[in-house]
Amino acid sequence: MRQESKIKLMEVCGTHTMAIARAGIKKLLPANIELVSGPGCPVCVTSQGDIDRAIEISRIKDVIMATFGDMMRVPGTNGSLEGMKRQGYDIRVVYSSLDALNIAKDNPGKKVVLMGIGFETTSPTIAATIIEAKRKKAQNFFILSNFKLIFPALEALAGSEKIKIDGFICPGHVSVITGSIPYEKIAKRYKKPSVITGFGTIDIFRGVERLINQIKNHKYEVEIAYKRAVKKRGNSTARKILDSVFEVGDSEWRGLGIIKKSGLKLRKEYEDFDAERIFKVKIPKTRKIPGCLCGEVLQGIKSPRNCKLFKKICTPQNPVGPCMVSSEGTCAAYYRYG
Amino acid sequence: MDNKITLAHGNGGRLMHELVDRLRLKFSNKILNEMADAAELNVPGNKLAFSTDSYVVKPIFFPGGDIGKLAVCGTVNDILMKGARPLFMSLAFIIEEGLELSILDRIAQSVKEASKKAKIQVVTGDIKVVEKGSLDKIFINTSGIGVISHQGKHIGTKAKVDDVIIINGTIAEHGIAILNAREKLGFVSGIKSDCRNLNLEVGRCLAASKNISVMRDPTRGGLAMALNEIAISSNLGIEINEEDIPIKPAVKNMCDILGFDPLYIANEGKFICFVDKKDASKVKKAIGKNARIMGKVVSNHKKEVHLKTEIGSGRILPMLESDQLPRIC
**Region A55-68: what's the mean pLDDT?**
96
Q: Do B168 and B141 fall into the same domain?
A: no
Is B322 part of a structural domain of the chain? no
One domain, residues B126 and B196: no
**Measuring CA to CA, which residue among B130, B111, B129 is closest to residue B121?**
B111
Inter-chain Cβ pairs, chain A and chain B, closer than 8 A:
44
Q: Model confidence over B244-272: pLDDT tens digits?
A: 999 999 999 999 888 788 999 999 999 99
A25 touches chain B (CB under 8 A): yes
Nearest to B185 among A95, A316, A327 (CB): A95
Q: Which stretch of A50-64, B38-52, B58-72, B89-103 has the lowest confidence by average pLDDT?
A: B38-52
pLDDT digits (tens, 9 = 90+) for A119-134: 999 999 999 999 999 9
pLDDT of A2 above 50? no
Q: Is the pLDDT of residue A118 over 90?
A: yes
- Give the pLDDT of residue B186: 75
Tell me the pLDDT band of B84, cut-offs 50, 70 and 90: very high
CA distance A301 to A330: 12
pLDDT at A218 over 80: yes
* CA nearest neighbour of A325 among A254, A269, A256: A254
Ramachandran angles phi, psi of A248, nearest 5°: -80, 140
Query: A326: pLDDT confidence band, cut at 50, 70 and 90?
Result: confident
The CATH homologous superfamily to which domain A1-287 belongs is HypD, alpha/beta domain 2 (3.40.50.11740)
> Collapsing DSSP states into helix, strand and coil, what is residue A178?
helix
B323 part of a folded domain = no
The domain spans of chain A are 1-287, 294-337
Q: Are B305 and B241 within one domain? A: yes
Do both B227 and B112 map to the same domain?
A: no
Q: Are residues B124 and B174 in the same domain?
A: no
- The answer to whether the CB of A332 falls within 8 A of the CB of A17 is no
Using CB atoms, pick whichever of B185, B311, B316 lies closest to residue A28. Answer: B311
Residue B103 lies inside a defined structural domain of this protein = yes
**Using CB atoms, which residue from B183, B258, B313 is nearest to A23?**
B313
**Nearest-CA neighbor of B184 among A128, A69, A95?**
A95
Q: What are phi and psi of A103, to 5 degrees?
A: -60, -40
What span, in angstroms and rounded, lies between the C-alpha atoms of A211 and A33?
A: 11
* In a domain? residue B329: no
DSSP string for residues in B248-300: -HHHHHHHHHHT--GGGS--SS--EEEE-GGGHHHHHHHH-TT-EEEEEEESS
Q: Is the pLDDT of residue A158 over 60?
A: yes
Say which residue, B293 or B258, is predicted with more confidence: B293
- Residue A169 CA to residue A35 CA, distance in Å, equals 9
> Which residue, B88, B117, B147, sits at the end of a domain?
B147
- CATH number assigned to the domain comprising residue B128: 3.30.1330.10
- B88, B145 contact by CB (below 8 A): yes
Distance between A107 CA and the closest CA of chain B, angstroms: 17
CA distance B231 to B220: 17
Judge contact between B265 and B129, C-beta under 8 A. no
The predicted structure's pLDDT at residue B75 = 98
Is the confidence at residue A296, as pLDDT, over 70? yes
Co-location of B18 and B143 in the same domain: yes
My answer on whether B209 and B307 are in the same domain is yes
Q: How far is A231 from A234, CA to CA, in rounded Å?
A: 5
What pLDDT was estimated at residue B326?
A: 67
Per-residue pLDDT at B183: 81
**Nearest CA-CA partner of A175 in A232, A124, A220, A103:** A232
- Residues in A closer than 8 angstroms to B315, CB to CB, are 21-22, 24, 337-338
CA distance A250 to A264: 8
Q: Are residues B279 and B173 in the same domain?
A: yes
User: Average per-residue pLDDT in chain B?
Assistant: 93
Q: Flag whether pLDDT at A4 surpasses 90.
A: no
- In the predicted structure, residue B325 carries a pLDDT above the cut 70: no
Q: What pLDDT is stored for residue A75 in this prediction?
A: 87
The confidence score (pLDDT) of residue A249 equals: 96
Confidence of residue B202 (pLDDT cuts 50, 70, 90): very high
Residues of B with CB under 8 A from a CB of A: 183, 185, 258-259, 261, 309-316, 318, 321-322
Subunit contact B321:A24, Cβ cutoff 8 A: no
- Predicted complex: ipTM over 0.90: no
| pLDDT tens for each residue of B161-184 | 999 999 999 999 999 999 989 887
Report the pLDDT value the prediction gives residue B2, as an integer from 0 to 100.
Answer: 60
Interface test with B, best of A17, A18, A22, A26 (most B CBs within 10 A): A22
Q: What is the pLDDT of residues B47-76, one digit of tens each?
A: 999 999 999 999 999 999 999 999 999 999
Whether B152 maps to a domain, the answer reads no
Domain assignment of residue B111, given as a range: 7-147
> In chain A, which residues have their Cβ closer than 8 Å to the Cβ of B186?
none
B93 and B186 fall within a common domain: no
Interface test with B, best of A27, A199, A205 (most B CBs within 10 A): A27
Please report whether residue B326 resides in a domain: no
Q: What is the CATH number of the domain that holds B228?
A: 3.90.650.10
Percentage with pLDDT > 90 across chain B = 81
Residues in chain B closer than 8 A to A95 (CB atoms)? 183, 185, 258
Mean pLDDT over residues A56-79, rounded? 92
Q: Are residues B180 and B77 in the same domain?
A: no
In a domain, B321, yes or no: no
Of A95, A201, A337, the CB nearest to B183: A95
Please state which of the ranges A112-121, A168-177, B129-138, B315-324 shows the lowest mean pLDDT. B315-324
- Sign of the alpha-carbon dihedral angle for A73, A74, A75, A76: negative
pLDDT for residue A318: 83
With a cut of 60, say whether residue A1 has pLDDT above it.
Answer: no
B310 and B170 belong to one structural domain: yes
B130 and B231 inside one domain: no
The strand pair at B65-66 and B61-62 is best described as antiparallel
Tell me the CA end-to-end span of chain A in Å, nearest whole number. 30
Determine contact, residues A65/A92, Cβ cutoff 8 Å.
yes
On the question of pLDDT at A23 being above 60, the answer is yes
Q: What is the pLDDT of residues B98-137, one digit of tens each?
A: 999 999 999 999 999 999 999 999 999 999 999 999 999 9
**How many domains, in total, are found in chain B?**
2
Surface-to-core class of residue B6, CB atoms within 10 Å of its CB (0-12 exposed, 13-18 middle, 19+ buried): middle
In this structure, is residue B157 part of a structural domain? no
